[in-house]
Amino acid sequence: MNKQKQYEMLYIPSQFGMIKVYIYGFKRDGKTGRVFIVLNGIKVNGKGIHKKQTLISTLTKFNEKIKA
């Protein structure tokens, strides 16, 4: 059986360019997943169980990184 990786992609326009968000995993309750955010060579990733919380915490880390 051929297993394929599935993920979600979000594109968020900003004044600095296009923010690309890749979301892997989170298939069932309790399964871990990963969130990757990329903008102009700046990369941030997060790992967690809850999709919404992981996305928000990763976006918060990304925001802190671009402010610095």
pLDDT of residue 47: 95
pLDDT tens per residue across all 68 residues of the chain:
556 677 889 999 998 899 999 999 888 777 899 999 999 989 999 999 998 999 999 999 999 998 87
Q: Rounded to an integer, what distance in angstroms lies between the CA atom of residue 7 and that of residue 2?
A: 16
Q: Rounded to an integer, what distance in angstroms lies between the CA atom of residue 1 and that of residue 56?
A: 35
pLDDT of residue 4: 61
**Distance from CA of residue 22 to its chain's centroid?**
5
pLDDT of residue 38: 96
Task: Spell out the domain ranges in the chain.
Answer: 7-67
